[in-house]
Structures are given as C-alpha cells and as structure tokens.
Structure 1
Amino acid sequence: MPSIEAATPKRKPTNLSLDRSLLEEARALGINVSRSAEAGIADAVKRRKREQWLRENGDALASSNAYVEAHGLPLAHHRQF
C-alpha cells in the first residue's frame, strides 16, 4: 500500500507578488491563498498545454475535418443510430 506521503505532491515555498488589497480581502474571507494560487496556476498550465496541443496538431485536425466534410465519416454505414 503506498504511503500517504507518496500520494501528496511535494510543495516548494515560493515568493509571489500579489495586489495588497486583494491579498487582504482574501485573508479576511478565510481564503487559502497558497491553494488558490496553486489552483489558478494549474488552470493556466492546463489552458496553455491545450493551446500548444491545438497549435501542434492543427494541421492534422484540419485535414481530418476536411476529409469528413468531403467524404463523410469513415464506417458511417455501420452506425446503428
């Protein structure tokens, strides 16, 4: 059975510069600033990876879409719906 420590991502203390009033408001509302920043960064990484994948695979997607537009879906005659 894996240890709990192995399942927990390692954290690295990091300095961030944040808008002072936003930080004060977040703290007053009981928001965990570190976890919120981490979630925001994770979302930004996910979006950037998606954008990168679409850029790198755009030609293949366009080619596939053009084929389907011109010839229909391959094996469409096997569809039962």
Structure 2
Amino acid sequence: MSPDLTYKTSAAISPKHASVDEAKSLEPRLSHAGDACTRQAKVESIADRWRRENAKAIASSNVWADQEGLPLERYRQF
C-alpha cells in the first residue's frame, strides 16, 4: 500500500455577492459580546442589590396581602 499523500492548499476567494458583504457587516464582534456580558452582569448586580435592600418591605406587603386580600380582588375576572 502506498501512503496517502494528500496536500492541503489554501485558496483566496473574494466574495462578490452583496449578501456575503452584508453578513460580514452583521457578524458579532468579540468586544461587543464582552460589553454585552458586562452590561448584563451589572444589571443583575443592581437587581440583586435592590432585592436585598427591599426584601423587608416586600415581605411586609406579602403578609398584608395574605391577611387582607388583594385590594381590587373583587374586580378580577380570572
């Protein structure tokens, strides 16, 4: 058996189609993805802090609603 002599060569292909150019312009950039992750982490951090700071008030409101019922419950249609 003779060895398999497969050679890889590269070919430069220049896209001439508008759809390929459009796709290139829409491809996500790594820096944008990093910025999005940073923004999401910041939003989650702010939301977590708000929940911690307001946990007592929310618990108090829930206890009141459990004891008294919802203020406009008689108008609910479900």
Question: What's the TM-score once normalised by structure 2's chain length?
Answer: 0.58
1:41 aligns with 2:34: no
Q: Which has the higher contact order (CA 8 A, sep 6+)?
A: 1
Identity %: 37
Residue 65 of structure 1 is matched in structure 2 by 62
Q: CA RMSD in A?
A: 1.7
Q: Note the alpha carbon deviations across 1:24-68, whole angstroms, 9 max, x for none.
A: xxxxxx751110100000000010010011011111100001111
CA–CA distance in structure 1, aligned partners of residues 73 and 28 of structure 2: 51
Residue 76 of structure 1 is matched in structure 2 by 73
Q: Which runs of 5+ in 1 are unaligned?
A: 1-29
Based on CA coordinates, which of the two structures has the bigger radius of gyration? 2
Question: What's the TM-score once normalised by structure 1's chain length?
Answer: 0.56
Number of residue equivalences: 52
